[in-house]
Amino acid sequence: MKWIINNYKDNFVEESYLNKLSKKDYKNIKLILCPNDKQLSLFKTNCFILGSQDMEYYYQIEDLVKHGVKYTILGHSDTRKKYKETNEIIHEKIKKLVKNNICPILCIGEEENNNVKEVIDKELEVLKDIKLDNIMIAYEPVWAIGTGKIPDTKKLEEILLYIKDKVVLLSGINPILIYGGSVNENTIEKLKHVNLIDGYLIGSASLNINSLETIIEVVKW
140 annotated active-site:
yes
Residue 32 sits at φ, ψ, to 5 deg, of -110, 125
193 annotated active-site:
no
Please state, in angstroms and rounded to a whole number, the distance separating the CA atoms of residues 145 and 204.
Answer: 10
Q: Shortest CA distance to 30 belongs to which of 211, 180, 208, 178?
A: 178
Catalytically annotated residue among 76, 85, 110, 123 = 76
- Any idea what DSSP says for residue 3? E
Beta bridge partners of 197: none
Please state, in angstroms and rounded to a whole number, the distance separating the CA atoms of residues 138 and 159.
Answer: 12
The number of beta carbons lying within 10 Å of the beta carbon of residue 155 is: 10
Please state, in angstroms and rounded to a whole number, the distance separating the CA atoms of residues 52 and 6.
Answer: 10
Across the chain, the runs of DSSP E, i.e. the strands, are 2-7, 29-34, 49-53, 71-74, 103-108, 136-139, 176-180, 199-202
Please state, in angstroms and rounded to a whole number, the distance separating the CA atoms of residues 147 and 73.
Answer: 21
Catalytically annotated residue among 85, 110, 123, 140 = 140
Please state, in angstroms and rounded to a whole number, the distance separating the CA atoms of residues 32 and 72.
Answer: 10
Active-site residues: which are they?
A: 76, 140
